Amino acid sequence: MSKPLILAVGVILTAGILTGGLNWNKQRRLAATIQDHLLPPPSSKGLHSELGYRIAELNKRTTEGPNRIESLAELSSLYHANGYLSRAWQNYRILIELDDKNPLWPYRLATIVSSFGHLDDSVALYRNAIKLDSEYIPAHIHLGDALLKLNRYDQAQRTYQSAYDKDPSNPFALFGLARVALTQDDTKIAQRLLESARRSNKRIGGDLLAEVYESLGEMSKARALLHDVTWSSHIDIPDPWLDDLVSVCYDSFEVAMAGGKAGRRGNTTRAIELLKKAISLDPLDQNAHNHLAETYVAQGDLNQARLAYEACIKVSPTFDRGWAGLISVELKSGDQSRASQVIDQAIVKCPNSYVINNYKGEDLIKKTLFREAIPFFETSVRAAPEKAVGYNYLARAYLNLGENGKALKYLQRALKTEPSNPLSIKLITIFYVLAEDTAQARAFLRKAVLSPRISEEDIAQLQAMFDEKFKR
């Protein structure tokens, strides 16, 4: 063999051995890093059996197998999805070290860290995630939120702006920019931004916008907004890097939570998928059955809603919300006779439920059996003395019986219980108009005007009644 050939073979051999050695060393480092930092698995006591098996299996593959990073990633998701946040946190730390080009790890860790309020730490992690994938808008929004809560308004503004630049209709970017504007007392700019946010998504910004309108003296706009806004209207930003974790969640409550969130965002199809999953994890969960039924109602699918409510009362025959839902479906379907049958079944199972007693009383009122309805409404107010609804029903029953004194007494009790109950306010206004008590009628009409929960149409009707009676 010639000398150059020997040399070439030597170089190739050396390069091969070096490469192999480096790889081997990398694997050793990888194994050692995982070994040194992985937290022990949680106790298997009380765990869903499949979850327990997967955790055990993945812990093994993470420390022994050939695909350790993939296994660690899977284990991290499993921990994160199932509420083992400290373990997920630790695993993401390891993954950031071993798989440093993947934005998912710093992002997910950032969301846990900033959830606990370690905002300074989270800023570095969010920035790392954005460096690795600058197109993922939720990372910009969360970073903006963290900076805002650190009182770093200029940086927050720039961060929200970067999300806005990528998507000028992003309601979360607009909302963040509005919050920054409010810290600078720039109410007019905040108003414009919040109005834009609400144009993009009606569930964003309504709460702050109402305050802004009121502070600017635009009371009619505030009133209209508050009438329109759904209570607790705020929704989280859709976040696939986190939302997808629910696919490996074994906790029926958490899955139902995710379903509820999807429903709030208006994605009832996804909500139904998740609620079905929650039920498959815990078939006896009456609340999940009920929630599924309500979501079908929201979709307008009364047949599926009926089936879901029937499943609900099958697993929990004394669960009054399930019965109430089923009754409402029959009423919505226009089948009064079937509704009456269901009400009679429900009252046997839930004799002390305020809602079922109200349905029973209402059913009797429809049959003009006013006197017979009263005991059911009396049971209702005993069961739920903090709610106006039973008193309202009693007032209506007594009005129908011509016993106005009693009717007034119950309307007053309704308003003592819930001073802003819209039906109570409307009924008592009408009562005083008919009783020709100008002062009281005017006072309650004024209360109605001030209450955003009463529609403009209803107020116009009340005003017309008032005018007709007193301004002739």
User: Under rule CB under 8 A, which residues in 373-392 are in contact with another protein?
Assistant: 385-386
Site for another protein contains 168 (CB under 8 A): no
Is residue 31 a contact partner of residue 63, using CB atoms and an 8 Å limit? Answer: yes
- The number of angstroms, rounded, from the C-alpha of 259 to the middle of its chain's C-alpha atoms is 8
- The number of angstroms, rounded, from the C-alpha of 110 to the middle of its chain's C-alpha atoms is 22
Site for another protein contains 336 (CB under 8 A): no
Q: Which residues contact 428 (CB under 8 A, 6 or more apart)?
A: 408, 411, 412, 415, 440, 444
Which of 72, 75, 78, 94 binds another protein (CB under 8 A)? It is: 94
Region binding another protein by CB under 8 A among candidate stretches 3-11, 191-199, 340-348, 395-403: 3-11
State the burial class of residue 460 (Cβ atoms within 10 Å of its Cβ: 0-12, 13-18, 19+). exposed
Q: What is the CA radius of gyration of the chain?
A: 31
Three state DSSP letters for 310-361: HHHHHHCCCCHHHHHHHHHHHHHCCCHHHHHHHHHHHHHHCCCCHHHHHHHH
Nearer of residues 340 and 392 to another protein, judged by Cβ: 392
CB contact burial 191-226 (16+ within 10 A = b; e otherwise): bbbbbbbbebbbbbbbbbbbebbeeeeeeebbbbbb
Site for another protein contains 229 (CB under 8 A): yes
Nearer of residues 62 and 111 to another protein, judged by Cβ: 111
Distances (CA, A) of 246 to 114, 206, 258, 391: 20, 29, 7, 43
Say how far apart CA 263 and CA 31 lie, in whole Å: 43
Site for another protein contains 298 (CB under 8 A): no
Q: Which tokens sit at 7?
A: 């040399």
Region binding another protein by CB under 8 A among candidate stretches 18-26, 52-60, 185-193, 428-436: 18-26
Nearer of residues 222 and 365 to another protein, judged by Cβ: 222
Site for another protein contains 38 (CB under 8 A): no
Which of 87, 396, 413, 426 binds another protein (CB under 8 A)? It is: 87
Q: Which of residues 238-267 bind another protein (CB under 8 A)?
A: 253, 256-257, 259-261, 263-264
Site for another protein contains 29 (CB under 8 A): yes
Which of 161, 233, 299, 455 binds another protein (CB under 8 A)? It is: 233
Provide the terminal-to-terminal Cα distance of the chain, rounded to the nearest Å.
Answer: 124
Q: Which of residues 193-212 bind another protein (CB under 8 A)?
A: 206-207, 210-211
Site for another protein contains 68 (CB under 8 A): no
Which of 44, 86, 280, 368 binds another protein (CB under 8 A)? It is: 86
Which of 38, 69, 150, 216 binds another protein (CB under 8 A)? It is: 150
Site for another protein contains 283 (CB under 8 A): no
- In total, the chain counts a number of residues equal to 472
Q: How many residues bind another protein (CB under 8 A)?
A: 85
Which of 8, 16, 28, 435 binds another protein (CB under 8 A)? It is: 28
Which of 48, 61, 118, 158 binds another protein (CB under 8 A)? It is: 118
CB contact burial 34-63 (16+ within 10 A = b; e otherwise): beeebeebbeeeebbeebbebbeebbebbe
User: Least distance from C-beta 30 to another protein, angstroms?
Assistant: 9
Nearer of residues 150 and 189 to another protein, judged by Cβ: 150
Say how far apart CA 431 and CA 389 lie, in whole Å: 17
Q: Which of residues 39-58 bind another protein (CB under 8 A)?
A: 39, 46
Site for another protein contains 158 (CB under 8 A): no
Site for another protein contains 133 (CB under 8 A): no
User: Least distance from C-beta 296 to another protein, angstroms?
Assistant: 14
Site for another protein contains 414 (CB under 8 A): no
Of the CA atoms within 13 Å of residue 318, those in its CB half-sphere come to 3
User: Least distance from C-beta 178 to another protein, angstroms?
Assistant: 13
Which of 74, 330, 362, 418 binds another protein (CB under 8 A)? It is: 418
